[in-house]
């Protein structure tokens, strides 16, 4: 892969978890970004301990040669008035624009159970036709708002949401305009379907519309227990269902090959949330960086 085209980032969620603040509560923002740089990453997403002031944040990141490449945005098109999401999105977009990011990763959180204590497979939300229409219409509007700043909007398919399975990704991509893109997440796709084939097919099918990639791996034994014992998503995270690329069951060769073939340009971000007390974030960041270098030459 070309170093001019593809850059490597890592998410702060391995150090401090936004959904489970008790995980990594002791880790500071400074330690987090210093260790990202130390492990050889030049990009980061945004965590709850990051300074909100763009000047302060920029200075801290510049010192370490790290830049912001994306930040999670929650949409509620299926459950709340459209204006609410749009208003929040504009603020989010402007913050990211100031930080130099080109992509905004959105997740439709209407009816989401990812943060709730509910069995992740048994109680997954399913959108009605009307909700699908609202989501597609809303995302098309966000794409126009992003384009005003020369940015792109993408949807992050995610466990416990209404856009989780390959079929749901298909429906979303068919219903939205071509300027609505996909944030492809290897870990969430494998988690949802439990097969390598699902990961390979989705990346192949949407290679031209993927503008941001989350690289995470899955521990098969933990996923098996999660299904058997009907855990929630967050319990799965705590128990270590996710890990860094190369440390789990997913084969990344096809993903890397497909993206290279289409000339993918953008960020690949290691996003593997674990309990930092069990999985030292620096150690795992270095492990991930080494694996990606071996596989891609980046």
Q: Residues of 280-289 as b/e, b for ≥16 C-beta within 10 angstroms?
A: ebbebbbbbb
Asked whether residue 197 carries a pLDDT value surpassing 90, the answer given is yes
Confidence of residue 19 (pLDDT cuts 50, 70, 90): confident
Q: What is the mean pLDDT of residues 18-37?
A: 93
From the list 140, 129, 33, the residue with the least C-alpha distance to 82 is 140
Asked whether residue 43 carries a pLDDT value surpassing 90, the answer given is yes
pTM: 0.97
Q: What is the mean pLDDT of residues 6-12?
A: 98
Q: What are phi and psi of 215, to 5 degrees?
A: -100, 110
Asked whether residue 44 carries a pLDDT value surpassing 90, the answer given is yes
**DSSP structure string for the chain:** --TTTEEEEE-GGGTS-SSSTTTTTT--HHHHHHHHHHTT--EE---TTS-SSHHHHHHHHHHHT-EE---EEEE-TTTS-HHHHHHHHHHHHHHHHHTT--EEEEEE-TT--TTSSS-TTTT-----HHHHHHHHHHHHHHHHHHHTTT-EEEEE--TTSSS-SHHHHHHHHHHS-TTEEEEEEHHHHHHHH--HHHHHHHHHHHGGGEEEEEE-EE-HHHHHHHHHHT--HHHHHHHT-EE-TTSSS---HHHHHHHHHTT--EEEEE-----TTTS-HHHHHHHHHHHHHHHH--
Confidence of residue 74 (pLDDT cuts 50, 70, 90): very high
Asked whether residue 210 carries a pLDDT value surpassing 90, the answer given is yes
Give the per-residue pLDDT at 90. Answer: 98
Q: What is the pLDDT of residues 135-156, one digit of tens each?
A: 999 999 999 999 999 999 999 9
Mean pLDDT of the chain: 97
Asked whether residue 206 carries a pLDDT value surpassing 90, the answer given is yes
Asked whether residue 103 carries a pLDDT value surpassing 90, the answer given is yes
**DSSP structure string for 45-69:** ---TTS-SSHHHHHHHHHHHT-EE-
Q: What is the mean pLDDT of residues 192-220?
A: 98
Chain mean position to CA 7:
15
Confidence of residue 5 (pLDDT cuts 50, 70, 90): very high
From the list 27, 19, 73, the residue with the least C-alpha distance to 50 is 27
From the list 274, 276, 75, 270, the residue with the least C-alpha distance to 185 is 270
Q: What is the CATH number of domain 8-296?
A: 3.20.20.150
Q: What is the mean pLDDT of residues 88-99?
A: 98
Give the per-residue pLDDT at 280. Answer: 96
Q: What is the mean pLDDT of residues 44-56?
A: 96
Distance CA 260, CA 114 (A): 32
Q: What is the mean pLDDT of residues 241-248?
A: 98
Asked whether residue 18 carries a pLDDT value surpassing 90, the answer given is no
Each domain of the chain, given as residue ranges in start order, spans: 8-296
């Amino acid at each position: 892969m070309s170093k001019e085209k593809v850059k490597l980032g890592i998410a702060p969620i391995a150090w401090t978890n936004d959904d489970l603040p008790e995980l990594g509560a002791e880790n500071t923002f400074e330690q987090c970004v210093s260790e990202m740089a130390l492990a050889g990453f030049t990009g980061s997403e945004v965590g709850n301990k990051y300074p909100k002031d763009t000047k302060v944040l920029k200075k801290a990141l510049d010192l370490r040669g790290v830049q912001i490449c994306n930040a999670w945005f929650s949409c509620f098109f299926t459950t709340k008035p459209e204006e609410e999401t749009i208003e929040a999105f504009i603020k989010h977009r402007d913050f990211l624009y100031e930080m130099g990011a080109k992509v905004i990763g959105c997740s439709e959180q209407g009816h989401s159970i990812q943060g709730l204590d509910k069995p992740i497979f048994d109680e997954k939300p399913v959108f009605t036709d009307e909700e699908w229409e609202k989501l597609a219409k809303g995302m098309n509007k966000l794409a126009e708002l992003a384009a005003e700043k020369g940015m792109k909007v993408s949807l992050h398919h995610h466990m416990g949401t209404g856009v989780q399975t390959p079929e749901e990704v298909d429906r979303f991509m068919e219903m939205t305009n071509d300027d609505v893109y996909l944030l492809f997440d290897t870990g969430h796709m494998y988690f949802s379907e439990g097969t390598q084939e699902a990961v390979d097919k989705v990346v192949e099918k949407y290679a031209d519309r993927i503008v941001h990639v989350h690289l995470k791996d899955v521990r098969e034994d933990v996923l098996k227990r999660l299904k058997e014992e009907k855990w929630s998503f967050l319990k799965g995270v705590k128990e270590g269902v996710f890990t860094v690329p190369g440390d789990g069951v997913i084969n990344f060769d096809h993903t890397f090959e497909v993206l290279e073939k289409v000339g993918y340009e953008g960020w690949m971000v290691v996003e593997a949330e674990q309990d930092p007390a069990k999985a030292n974030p620096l150690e795992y960041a270095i492990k991930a960086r080494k694996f990606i270098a071996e596989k891609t030459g980046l």
